[in-house]
């Protein structure tokens, strides 16, 4: 979808200008946009209340909000806010914009498995060893 300043946004998850991405039903209510901004352009997105925001810059140097400069192949994580603005000043910018509501849950992690408690983690590894971890 194209928006002002010839910005092109591919909506993977979430919604913008009545365009919904194909991924739905996730508890954190995430948005995931692939944003292409031509040199001299900008993109601003209003967030749902209490969302955290992160961005990964694939191409170019991007400027966020209060002149925070983020170079190519770098990510930036913001806290809560009500909007995010990305500017492409001297070059075009391609960025992955990610936002979501924090779940504020405990995390137990070991290798490729992430659960909420050590007990759940132990159960998951037992199921993995027994071949019952993947359920259909």
- In tens, the pLDDT along 26-50 reads 777 888 999 999 999 999 988 776 7
- On whether the CB atoms of residues 93 and 62 are closer than 8 A, the answer is yes
Burial class (CB in 10 A: 0-12, 13-18, 19+), 17: exposed
Which pTM value belongs to this model? 0.74
In whole angstroms, give the CA distance from residue 25 to residue 116: 20
pLDDT beyond 70 at 127: yes
Pairing of strands 15-16, 7-13: unpaired
Distance CA 95, CA 56 (A): 5
Are the C-beta atoms of residues 13 and 21 closer than 8 Å to each other? Answer: yes
């Amino acid at each position: 979808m194209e928006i002002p300043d010839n910005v092109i946004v591919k909506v993977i998850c979430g919604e913008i200008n009545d365009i919904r991405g194909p991924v739905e039903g996730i508890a954190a209510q995430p948005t995931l946009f692939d944003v292409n901004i031509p040199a001299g352009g900008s993109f601003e997105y209003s967030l749902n209340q209490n969302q955290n925001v992160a961005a990964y810059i694939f191409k170019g140097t991007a400027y966020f909000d209060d002149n925070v400069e983020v170079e190519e192949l770098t990510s930036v994580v913001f806290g809560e806010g009500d909007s995010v603005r990305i500017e492409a000043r001297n070059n075009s910018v391609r960025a992955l914009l990610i936002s979501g509501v924090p779940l504020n849950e405990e995390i137990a992690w070991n290798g490729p498995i992430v659960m909420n408690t050590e007990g759940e983690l132990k159960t998951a590894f037992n199921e993995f060893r027994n071949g019952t971890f993947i359920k259909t």
